[in-house]
Amino acid sequence: MNSFTLTAVGNLARNPELVLQSDTLYTHFCLVGNDYAGRDEEGAAREVVTTVWFVAFGGLGEALAKNARKGDQLMVTARVRSNNWTDKQARSSTTSFVVEDFVRPPGSREAGGV
């Protein structure tokens, strides 16, 4: 049983990156979306940009890296997994999202999957 599963719809912030590390092949990618954030002092709608990073393994990751490009809209179903790491600026992170499935929603560049 997966304790936490999420579904996200967003556009690829950049081309997916296919990585081979210690005999493990995976694809690292980021979805970005704009969300309503209330109104400003003059009554105009405000938006906030949300970015979420994902990892896809095996054939799923390969298909994503081969066929999806920056700007493509994807719908992703992912498991939330703890992953402790430190980046080049010595900032630590403890969460990653592991992709189980993804499709291109109807109306995107290619409907029916990647």
Whole-number pLDDT of residue 32 = 94
| Domain membership flag for residue 31 | yes
Instruction: Report the pLDDT value the prediction gives residue 113, as an integer from 0 to 100.
Output: 46
pLDDT tens profile 19-47? 998 888 999 999 999 999 999 999 999 99
Q: How far apart are CA 13 and CA 30, in angstroms?
A: 6
Specify the pLDDT at position 90.
86
Query: Could you tell me if residue 111 is inside a domain?
Result: no
Within-domain flag for 14: yes
Weakly modelled stretches of the chain, pLDDT under 50: 110-114
pTM for this predicted structure: 0.74
- Which domain CATH number covers 98? 2.40.50.140
So what's the pLDDT on residue 112? 42
Overall number of domains in the chain: 1
* Residue 112 CA, distance from chain mean position: 18
